[in-house]
Chains A and B, each alone.
Chain A
């Protein structure tokens, strides 16, 4: 099935086209979402949102970018929205527990998983890296995740982010410098 046939089929709500779309893109969508949100179940739920969005707005899809680029864009946006919602929820919970007061003697902010207390070594490393990556400015984070996890070429990242290749290079350079700094500070603090 060619891309234009697929788009046409989706506009007409053709079941074969829908099946093809899901078969063809689900793994990439779920994995990309997973690289951002770090929890597979959340990534799978997000992938449903992504395909729903693709299905609902396929008639507005403009062919100046490939379908896969467009789907990646939706995936990245949905993932970042999810992280923003999660962040808001965390802040709300922290404020709530501050207002309610913690009578058990624990500090309200201790709800953040204590990185060094984690028994599982891989889990500990994962948390250190996620924390550092999530603290990067949004554009740097997108460029870093797509390049390091998704192993995308600069040109493809540029297309997804709607930037020039040189801007992506610069973003990645800054992302790596920032990450190194954060990680080195962390390693020095917890030596």
Chain B
């Protein structure tokens, strides 16, 4: 309960500035409040200053944002979407591409092995053929090939 009219003092005024401004005091207290202001210059000044400073709240409510603020927000969101897309691409580049290269290498090695396997009889035939020649050479005492030009120039 607020103090009665006879005891209303400056402290009551200074503790109820918002209540008075927002019309939340009872009729009786409002009358006492206003009566005190008539008799107290200091409280009257404080109430007036308080009203003046808090009027800034209404001034701020009237402020309007820049009409292009929305466009800037959209641009920022779109650039975010773009950078999200760019972030997705390296996943392909960094993971899928090396995987594809490795798979190609494996395939190449397999193909290589299969080709060698297919030509194995031919290769072994060539090896056998060389061995036969060496055997005939040794049987007939044929010396290894001598480069005659080289020996001719060496002798000179």
Contact = CB atoms under 8 A, between A and B. Distances in A.
A89 to B, nearest CB: 23
B21 to A, nearest CB: 10
Nearest to A188: B46
Contacts of B80: 52, 55-56
Interface string B55-72: 111011101011001101
A48 interface: yes
A122 interface: yes
Interface string A1-32: 00000000000010000110011001100110
Interface residues of A, number: 38
Given A34-B60, A129-B56, A18 B74 contact: yes
Contact of B18 (A34, A128, A180): A180
Interface of A: 13, 18-19, 22-23, 26-27, 30-31, 34-35, 38, 40, 43-44, 47-48, 51-52, 55-56, 122, 125-126, 128-129, 148-149, 176-177, 179-181, 183-184, 187-188, 191
A129 B49 CA distance: 11
A129 B54 CA distance: 7
Contacts of A129: 53-54, 56-57
B60 A47 contact: no
Interface of B, helix, strand, loop or mixed by DSSP: helix
Given A180-B14, A184-B14, 19 more contacts: A18-B77, A22-B74, A30-B65, A30-B69, A47-B73, A52-B80, A56-B80, A122-B59, A125-B52, A125-B55, A126-B60, A129-B54, A148-B57, A149-B61, A180-B15, A180-B50, A181-B14, A187-B49, A188-B46
B81 A13 contact: yes
B76 interface: yes
Contacts of B8: none
Nearest to B50: A183
